[in-house]
Amino acid sequence: MTPLARLLVERIRETGPITVADYMAECLLHPVHGYYTTRDPFGAGGDFTTAPEISQMFGELLGLALAQAWLDRGSPAPFTLAELGPGRGTLMADILRATRTVSGFHEAARLTLVEASPRLRDVQAVPLATYQPSWIDRVQDLPETPLFLIANEFLDALPIRQFIRGPQGWQERLIGLRDDQLTFGLSAPLPQVPDTPAFRHAPEGALVEDNLPARHAAAEVSTRIARHGGVAYWIDYGGWRSQGDTLQALRNHAPDDPLAHPGEADLTAHVDFEPLAALAQTFAWDTQGAVLTRLGIDARAERLARNLTGAALESHRAAHRRLTDPSEMGSLFKVLAMTSAGAPPPPGFA
Ligand code: SAH
């Protein structure tokens, strides 16, 4: 049993079963034993890799998209350039490098990073040192200014609750104990559940996931964009409407039982973009492959390929495929762009 599993078993023994969201929050961000608080999980040595760690092209193209959106909105100054859950800081470093020559963009940008893990803040400080970032704990603390924001694989790490529509109504999936081991169970029927399309349209027997922190984050961002202008790009795996049980654990690059190694495995859930899009004044959404293609990834890939040979060229070509091919990340990953009413369309969409 992991040290966190022992703590959770004790807690449940004393105070009863916990929600999937409580469990996820403890596993990911427990101050001593949490997955993100104790390690840098990215890259070949870690448990998973993300688009910016696969290729510099991802950050370069999205950086130029943000800068184009800023120009299209009359180059507001100052503005907040924000990232939620910046991981190793690679995506923001690529964004800043690609936009160096956009006149006035860096001068007007106030770089703000929302990051819960002190350990990862230290990692992010290294590639971003020259840009003097400020770190904040919560999306609610974003300043009231024009906002140009990116969040890649942030929403999937936020704690979800799971509900099942049984014959007597909605019940919540809980984590309790059987023979002193963590196990899934169900709450008594609930008087009410969140009022989103996934709940309204669920047939009997369906499992629906709700990501309340994601809805809160999207509402905070959308309100600022409505007030002050700007654009937000949310990139993640998921779809339109809750997809059933998508809670998954990843440990040493391999799938794991979500209850088996609390604190030592990454826990995520697919993102339901529908209730998030509903919070925007205006939104656009498409697959990652389609958006990167419209932003010019094929031409950028060809340019970079000119300076490469042998194994480096092979791995560059593989990275291009991995980001865009429908059988890899191209269609599982989606991009939701939020803008204000009447604003120019966000770059990267038809
Ligand atoms: N965007 C990065 C990393 C994604 S992993 C990339 O694409 O590589 C998720 C990131 O979100 C990590 O930096 C993690 O520490 C952070 N995070 C997770 N939950 C958070 C929360 N509730 N508040 C702030 N940051 C959080």
Domains of the chain by residue range: 35-159+210-339
In CATH, what is the architecture of 35-159+210-339?
3-Layer(aba) Sandwich (3.40)
Task: Say which amino acid occupies 296.
Answer: G
> How many Å lie between the centroid of ligand 1 and the Cα of residue 101?
28
User: CB-based contacts of 136: which residues, under 8 Å, 6+ apart?
Assistant: 112, 113, 114, 142
Tally the residues of the chain.
350
pLDDT band at 52 (very low <50, low <70, confident <90, very high): very high
The verdict on the CB of residue 154 being under 6 Å from ligand 1 is yes
Say whether pLDDT at 43 is over 80. Answer: no
- Output the residue whose Cα is nearest ligand 1's atom 18: 157
What pLDDT, on a 0 to 100 scale, did the predictor assign at position 252?
83
* Contact 36 CB / ligand 1 (< 6 Å): yes
pLDDT of residue 47: 77
Query: Residue 63 and residue 4: Cα distance in Å, rounded?
Result: 39
Ligand 1 pocket, residue 86 CB under 6 Å:
yes
Q: What is the pLDDT of residues 284-331, one digit of tens each?
A: 999 999 999 999 999 999 999 999 999 999 999 999 999 999 999 999
Q: What pLDDT was estimated at residue 42?
A: 79
Atom 23, ligand 1: residue with shortest CA distance: 116
Whether 8 lines ligand 1, by a CB cut-off of 6 Å, is no
Mean pLDDT of 88-114: 98
Task: Output the pLDDT for position 261.
Answer: 97
* Spatial contact of 288 and 279, defined as CB atoms under 8 Å apart: no
Residue nearest to atom 20 of ligand 1 (CA): 116
Largest distance between two CA atoms of the chain: 64
Alpha-carbon separation of residue 346 from 28, 82, 190, 222, 283 (angstroms): 33, 16, 41, 14, 9
Which residue's entry shows tokens 């703000």? Answer: 112
First CA to last CA distance, the chain: 50
If you measure from the C-alpha of residue 182 to the centroid of ligand 1, how many angstroms do you get, rounded to a whole number?
Answer: 26
> Which residue in this structure is represented by tokens 């604003």?
343
Percent of the chain with pLDDT strictly greater than 90: 93
Q: What's the confidence (pLDDT) of residue 30?
A: 95
Quick check: CB of 114 below 6 Å from ligand 1?
A: yes
pLDDT of the residue at 156: 97
Spacing, Cα 28 to ligand 1 middle (Å): 10
Rounded mean pLDDT, 262-273: 96
Matching residue, tokens 């031409």: 299
CA atoms of 332 and 90, how far apart (whole Å): 22
Residue 29 CA: which ligand 1 atom is closest?
19
Please give the pLDDT value at position 44. 61
* Beta carbon of 157 within 6 Å of any ligand 1 atom: yes
The pLDDT tens digits of the residues spanning 188-217 come to: 999 999 999 999 999 999 999 999 999 999
The pair of structure tokens assigned to 127 is 């590639």
152 lines ligand 1 (CB under 6 A): yes
CA R_g for the chain: 21
The Å distance, Cα 114 to ligand 1 centre, comes to 8
CB 244 within 8 A of CB 207: yes
Evaluate: CB of 21 within 6 angstroms of ligand 1.
no
CA distances from 348 to 34, 68, 143, 296, 314 (A): 36, 10, 26, 9, 27
Q: What is the mean pLDDT of the chain?
A: 96
**How confident is residue 222, by pLDDT bands cut at 50, 70 and 90?**
very high
User: Looking up tokens 């596993």, which residue turns up?
Assistant: 27
- 167 CA → ligand 1 middle, Å: 38
pLDDT at 55 over 80: yes
Alpha helices, DSSP H only, in 40-89? 51-54, 56-72
Nearest CA to 172 out of 211, 207, 124, 137 is that of 207
What's the 214 CA to ligand 1 centre distance in angstroms?
A: 12
Residue 242 has a pLDDT of: 78
pLDDT at 41 (0 to 100): 81
Report the pLDDT averaged over residues 117-129: 94
Q: What is the pTM of this model?
A: 0.96
Atom number in ligand 1 closest to CA 117? 15
Q: Name the residue type at position 40.
A: D
Q: Is 65 in the pocket of ligand 1 (CB under 6 A)?
A: no
Other beta carbons within 10 Å of 6: 12
